[in-house]
Chains A and B, each alone.
Chain A
């Protein structure tokens, strides 16, 4: 009975929340704005909330201990499955270009870029526990470094890649210095401000960056000096191997470049975790005051985390610039930072496999869903499915935002909790996932 009453209350609140915002749409016309009513949409949402709440309350009624046990079993199963998932994923990633479909290779490149960004941010957020909301700034620094160096000084991609990384790393350390003393939430706001400053400067410093029009004609990378151009001459990839020149060769090459870069990021962060530096990061994440009392140099630890994380962001940015051949400040908004952060958080703050899975689900999964829906719409000639498919990109960030909230409420340590400390004195004790969730151990 209480459940029913509660559900009614929730429905009433939902009516208040969504009634005006969804039910009355402001539409522009020649005579200014006017309102259009959408009662059906409101009714659907309120109904969903009512039954959703009712279902939730009934489901939650089951035994608490049983739920905890089920939770723990689920976490264990995922962790154990991780052993087999990694090689399978690697093989699938290696084999993807052999599918020969340009669409899948492009999608794979996009997903891998996000995986690489996620692994880079994971060093800052997941390992060192510094919440960085301006990660896109370093991505932008890397992209613009490569674009400007390549178009101004005629340098190649492989020369510029380390330079872009170094410049982004320097930007990371420069940002790191003033914010060393700041606590978690202040740090988040300041890094966010830094990201916005970089974007505004890129937008307005027209003489250097060409402002909102962006930089065009950024050169593509070469394979040991072999270009991927369509003329099929001597210095080109197709000419050297006596192949028919095709765009797909370049697409596949770019895919393997980002695959290699992502693996490099993963390898470096896995190795760093075993070094004293990586251990200091993890200690810092757990307790800053304890770190300082144990003689860890908090300043250097934080700065290296910022610098190395930013460096990988810079690599990814340089790759982004060379892949698109065009960049503008539009590509470096807060939404990008939020997307990467969402991937890291959903992946479980510190787990390498988790980040990869989250990126696949969040970037690739949504794209695949859209594809599937528009395919269904085409097949069945149904307006509904193709309508949803064309609207889906709009809902992408909405789903991201909700996923962040739901994730924090249900499993604050992420889907794949990879928080096993790098070192321990004795055999690790088993800690109840619920306790970890509440931050008690």
Chain B
């Protein structure tokens, strides 16, 4: 029981990270109907940017943890947003209206490029850091197994929920959110009504990349070790989360992320750690076959 509770806590923390990445996939898919393959790598870049910011702040002598966290978050989100914008501008915008495989292949190229760019510029070795927020609270101790809720996990959940609240407000209450939803419903009609669709799509990528950077920062905090390859697996899992929750649906992405996080953690705890990635991929395949619209998604009608 205590063991299961511990796994539940871990699963929710991990699920929050996946959910944040999944939002970026689902937003881009909703608007231009393509899988932004490089999104997982933007997450990885965000994670590296956070690492650089943390080390830089430490070198500058800023020791206050809350201040350092906020500054790192802002820095990583801003630069990652620039990455998101550049990726869209360079690799996707020239291909709008091209044949159907073109943007996808370009996205794969961008993903390989980002991965190897980080490998070349920052080195291929793993980057470990010390825990920034050590310690935690002990929830219960039964049968020699102590259930730990670390401050780090609390921080991750709180920051994620705050960011998601801001994001929800942005999408539902502001003019920008309205244009985004308009573009999602019908891109051509939105442009006929005078919405700058190119700008809206760019902003979608910017917001998605910023969220991915936040997730990258959380990942760095949670695991304390990153390398240039983390974006690949995390990206696929987040994509699975987006599909599971119903691609195109924002609450669905977070829900899917939580589910994937829980499944992964419980699978590792009760079956095998080696095959945890297989579990995620298997869920992806099963979800696409039996539940292609996802949990909260709408059925898509193919028009010719």
Contacts and interface: CB of A to CB of B under 8 A. Distances in A.
A407 B113 CA distance: 13
B279 to A, nearest CB: 10
Contacts of B158: none
A338 B105 CA distance: 10
Contact of A17 (B52, B86, B130, B277): B86
Contact of A412 (B98, B109, B112): B98
Interface in B26-54: 34-35, 37, 45, 48-49, 51-53
Contact of A188 (B49, B83, B104): B104
B83 A186 contact: no
Interface stretch (B6-14, B61-69, B89-97, B252-260): B89-97
Nearest to B91: A405
Given A200-B278, A412-B98, A34 B55 contact: yes
B106 A17 contact: no
Contacts, number: 183
Given A28-B125, A289-B302, A397-B116, A185 B104 contact: yes
A412 B99 contact: yes
B220 to A, nearest CB: 12
Interface in B196-252: 232, 236, 239, 243
Contact of A338 (B59, B98, B112): B112
A106 interface: no
Interface stretch (B139-147, B160-168, B169-177, B282-290): B282-290
A107 interface: no
Contact of A334 (B52, B91, B97, B232): B232
Contacts of B59: 34-35
B98 A439 contact: yes
Contact of B109 (A179, A408, A413): A408
A291 interface: no
Contacts of B153: none
A32 B130 CA distance: 8
Given A201-B278, A345-B105, A439 B99 contact: yes
Given A34-B55, A35-B52, A22 B97 contact: no
B269 interface: no
Interface residues of B, number: 70
Contacts of B71: none
Interface string B144-158: 000000000000000
A26 B35 contact: no
Nearest to A34: B55
B80 to A, nearest CB: 10
B48 to A, nearest CB: 7
Main secondary structure of the interface of A (DSSP, over half): helix
Nearest to B281: A193
A439 B97 contact: yes
Nearest to B94: A409
Given A35-B52, A35-B55, A186-B288, A28 B112 contact: no
B113 A405 contact: yes
B120 A338 contact: no
B274 A189 contact: no
Nearest to B285: A190
A402 B79 contact: no
13 contacts: A20-B49, A24-B55, A32-B128, A193-B284, A335-B112, A338-B112, A395-B116, A397-B112, A401-B111, A401-B113, A409-B94, A409-B95, A439-B100
Given A13-B86, A35-B55, 13 more contacts: A26-B48, A26-B122, A32-B128, A125-B101, A189-B284, A197-B278, A341-B105, A400-B109, A400-B112, A401-B109, A405-B110, A408-B105, A408-B106
Interface of B: 34-35, 37, 45, 48-49, 51-53, 55-56, 59, 75, 79, 82-83, 86, 90-91, 94-95, 97-106, 108-123, 125, 127-130, 232, 236, 239, 243, 272, 274-275, 277-278, 281-282, 284-285, 288-289, 292, 302, 304
Interface of A: 13, 16-17, 20-22, 24-28, 32-35, 125, 129, 131, 133, 178-179, 181-182, 184-186, 188-190, 192-194, 196-197, 200-201, 203-204, 289, 334-335, 338, 341-342, 345, 349, 394-395, 397-398, 400-405, 407-409, 412-413, 437-439
